[in-house]
Amino acid sequence: MFFSKKYRIALATLAAILLAVLWFYSPDHWLSRITFATVSVDGRLVRSDLFIGNPAHSEAESIVLVHVPGVGDFFLNFLDESYREASDHEFVRLPRGIWTFKSMRQGRFVAPLHSVSLNEFRIASSSGHIVTVQF
């Protein structure tokens, strides 16, 4: 099936506009996988998935999504050194990362527990576990 030249031009223009909008809109919504952190639950190392987003293209303003199977999902805010629990309905997994439906910066972030080591977040999850993320 072949399309007319006008139809192909219109489709290409629409695709270019959509890509331009996503380019400017995506920093608040796109997180890429990272592997340079460890996660423990109640003192035991666990398998987890971590993703980092730079909504303002600054390391100081980075936000990390931590997915711990069976325990929960957490957004960690590096700028404010705070966190919030996330629902699995807030994001979708894609081949190269995570797309959040609302800005990763939105929501009520709270202070984590006192850190024992440098570069760590200690979180008291709503399920009663202590989740420690060490960078």
State residue 123's pLDDT score: 95
Q: Are 50 and 33 in contact (CB under 8 A)?
A: yes
Q: Is 132 helix (H, G, I), strand (E, B) or coil?
A: strand
Q: Which of residues 95 and 3 earns the better pLDDT score?
A: 95
Tell me the mean pLDDT in the region 79-98.
Answer: 92
State residue 27's pLDDT score: 76
pLDDT value at 45 more than 90: yes
State residue 4's pLDDT score: 85
pLDDT value at 24 more than 80: no
pTM of the model: 0.79
Strands in 43-101 per DSSP E: 44-46, 49-53, 63-68, 72-77, 82-86, 91-94, 97-100
